[in-house]
Amino acid sequence: MNVALLLVAAMALLGLWHYRRLPWRDPRRWLPLPMALLLAASLAPPSLPVAVGTLTVLTPGATAAQRRGLPWLAPLVALPGAAAPARAEPVPDLASALRRHPDSRRLRVIGHGLPPRDLDAARGLPLQFEAAPEAGIVALEVPDRVPVGARPVIRGRVAGPVVRVALHEPGGAQVDVATVDGQGAFSVSALARAVATVPFELRAFDAGDRLVDHAAVPLRIEPGERLSLAYRAATPDADAKYLRRWAQDAGLEVRYRAGLSEGVALNADGLVPAEAALTAASLARLDLLVIDERAWAALAAGERTALLAAVDGGLGLLLKLTGPLPPEVAANWAALGFPTTPLDLPPTVTLDGRLAMRERHDFTAAPVTLADSAALTPLLRADDGRLLAAWTPRGAGRIALWTWLDSYRLVLGGDAARHGALWSTALGALARPRPAAAAEPQLPASSWVGERAVICGLGAAAALQGPDGSRTPLQVAADRCAAVWPGTSDWQRLDSGGATQPWYVRAADDAAGLRAARDRAATRQLPAVPDSDAAAVRAWRPLPRLPFWLGWLLLASLIWWRERRA
């Protein structure tokens, strides 16, 4: 090698001597020197310090700035979907990359992070993660099951330039819209109109009304439990009227009794005959009893005893205020766990934020203040934090106090859906507990087509049925789990143990921000390599020969061309 370098130096000196009489503007006068340097560099390339044993992995989402800072000499691989320079080696997965680079001792991951298929391959190696900025819908909370007639609330968080989020029905109609707050949080809701498995769609827009991200919102709408409800009122009122109407439309068995005058009462037969007295036998057939303060005062001692015994056995009891609270009833209800303080006038309250209402509405509460305590679980609060409804456990049942007087105004204002969702949530929290349903397989929170998903809690003969009716048997391991690679997006049906369960698989381009957030969180949980260790293990590596050789060839061609012209 030393002899070759001496020959190159001799050739450079000979060239400079040969063209010494030419003017400096002629490239032949000075080109022999850079040609010699390039030729020497192609024979003995210079070296630069690089990290030894570090494999740089490009993942989807790597920014242009991150790509500009990539190492030139260290091994560089790109996972599927990652934008990468030409010098990066494309690989199908991280395990393949590690087989091609067996000397890798640590990983440097750039972008949104490693997908689930590559996490196992990376667990044995320390990792340096350079995450790309978050953008789009990065968190989403969707109810697992929704009873028909309810209004489920979808909550989430966005990042990046998103300022507005809209919820659309499967047909494309917009059903709700929300402006994100300072932390990027939002909440939207939709009415569950019929029993079905439907994917709503969430769309995120920036300040210029450009679509930043979109995500399917799969809702599993099921028929609710057929509850038996009894309502005892001292006199008919509007709130009881619309509550009873909603309960009947929702399919509940309703027993309504309201006093008209002394010794005269209105018995409205819902689906079963009304019963005048509260006895142990009649209460055993109920799931929930609603009673106002004056009807409570009119109860016989035996009825109160039977009622509280029924609550201990699981009956739900809603104490509903319709006006001022008599002192005797206030003392009774305080003994049940609801201490109140009387007010001179009924307070005006707003629930625009709590009910996600688009317009401001003022409502009225009973002239009492329900004290907050650790023993009470809130059911409803006003926007100013005032506690309007709360419940407390008693035995196997629950007792609640409701102080909102005019929820019926939601119906009169055209918000019957919110009125129904409000009472559906409240009564569902109080009703007599039902036997626990059989355990279903545990599905992943979000799954994408073509990506590995793990389902656990399966029976021995489990199968997956696609949207086209095709049936794929699953290989269930000893831990009752199976790996699935769904090939079609949309709703799938999982058959296990004779029961079927719907499962939604997202399209490959759906919920990009949610997918990136999942990969980012999973990658950050892997063992990290300290920055000092990542920078300390370095060695000198020679630069590639080809660029120097091509440079020498270009200059040699230029001298040859000048010689031909001369």
Model confidence pLDDT, tens digit, residues 94-110: 999 999 988 888 899 99
pLDDT digits (tens, 9 = 90+) for 73-98: 678 899 998 988 888 889 999 999 99
The Cα–Cα gap between 406 and 384 comes to: 18
Q: Which residue in 174, 169, 161 sits closest to 200, CA to CA?
A: 169
The H or E element that residue 31 is part of is none
- Of residues 204 and 562, more confidence is placed in 204
Predicted local confidence at residue 25, as pLDDT: 62
Statement: residue 50 has pLDDT above 90: no
The Cα–Cα gap between 327 and 519 comes to: 59
Predicted local confidence at residue 523, as pLDDT: 93
User: Averaged over 335-343, what is the pLDDT?
Assistant: 92
pLDDT digits (tens, 9 = 90+) for 171-224: 888 988 999 988 999 988 887 877 888 899 999 999 999 999 999 999 988 876
pLDDT digits (tens, 9 = 90+) for 356-405: 676 677 899 999 999 888 889 999 999 888 999 999 999 999 999 999 99
Name the CA radius of gyration of the chain, rounded. Answer: 36
Which residues touch 149 (CB under 8 Å, ≥6 apart)?
Answer: 191, 192, 193, 224, 250, 420, 421, 424
DSSP of 508-539? TTS-HHHHHHHHHHHHHTSPBPPHHHHHHSEE
The Cα–Cα gap between 247 and 495 comes to: 34
Strand-pairing partners, residue 187, are: 155
Let me know how many helices (H) and strands (E) the chain has, helices first: 16, 33
Under the banding of pLDDT at 50, 70 and 90, the label for residue 274 is very low
Residue type, 527: P
pLDDT digits (tens, 9 = 90+) for 457-503: 888 788 888 888 888 888 888 888 888 888 888 898 888 877 788 99
Predicted local confidence at residue 421, as pLDDT: 80
Q: Please state the φ and ψ torsions of residue 61, each to the nearest 5 degrees.
A: 100, -5
Q: Please state the φ and ψ torsions of residue 558, each to the nearest 5 degrees.
A: -65, -45
Tokens 């799931």 -> residue = 287
Predicted local confidence at residue 392, as pLDDT: 95
Residue type, 430: L
143: its two tokens: 């109810």
Lowest-pLDDT range, 118-132, 211-225, 267-281, 416-430?
Answer: 267-281
Predicted local confidence at residue 49, as pLDDT: 63
Predicted local confidence at residue 416, as pLDDT: 81
Q: Which residue in 179, 194, 190 sits closest to 217, CA to CA?
A: 190
User: Averaged over 30-47, what is the pLDDT?
Assistant: 68
